[in-house]
A = this chain, B = another copy of it.
Amino acid sequence: MPTSSKSDKRRTLTSAKIIEAALTIADTQGIETLSMRKLATALNVTAMSMYNHVANKDDLLSLMLDHVVSEFELPNKDGPWQDMLRRRAHSMRRAFLRHPWAPTLLISTITNGSHTMQDTNATLGCLINAGFSYAAADWARNAIDSHTFGYTMQELNFPVEPDKYKAAAAHYLPEIDKDKYPYLHSATEVLIKGEYDGITQFDFGLDLILSGLSPDNSQ
């Protein structure tokens, strides 16, 4: 009898498998180390095989990004619109912390994957249903996403673990000229003593925006 095609050398490659392996490499080793050859090796396949399933590397990256967006929590639940948008923003930040390479690519790429469209649609819908005009909803979403992207990207460029971040600050301190940059110097000293709490600081800016928004305060 012929061997089942399942365990065969053939037919085993799918775009889903490629995306999964690519995400693993990007998450664990960094997006800059992700090459088509390396990805192929991880899949026990040659580089060109993958071109039967993804158009090119850019296409692969778009598919990876749409997967990341699929991890965003859709603002579909009941509750005040502020809570729904806050939950979505929190889930975005967590997704970006899981996939540190994603926000940079996501914000500099026009993506039209289905999850991305679903996310935008649901977020706008949440605001529209709260009484925002389409224009106001667009502005509100823009302000919230600007904070989410901007904050998280700054956070990612930071040694997150408390030990490491204090050590890094202590390492940079002597390089900061106390006379030229007195405030920066003092701020770094304060940083070394203090605690870093990413989510609290994230919410600080987010709440400034959310509490300022209302269905009739724009245009």
A residues contacting B by CB (< 8 A) are 104, 107-110, 112, 117-118, 120-122, 124-125, 128, 134-135, 137-139, 142-143, 145-151, 153-154, 156-157, 172, 175-176, 180-184, 186-187, 190-191, 194, 201, 204-205, 208-209, 211-213, 218
Q: List 8 A-B contacts (CB under 8 A).
A: A104-B108, A107-B157, A109-B157, A134-B186, A142-B205, A143-B208, A149-B149, A149-B153
Interface secondary structure of A, over-half rule: helix
Closest to A118 in B: B181
Distance from A123 Cβ to chain B, minimum over Cβ atoms (Å): 8
Contact A218 B204, beta carbon cutoff 8 Å: yes
Which chain B positions have C-beta within 8 A of A112? 172, 175
Beta-carbon contact of A204 and B139 below 8 Å = yes
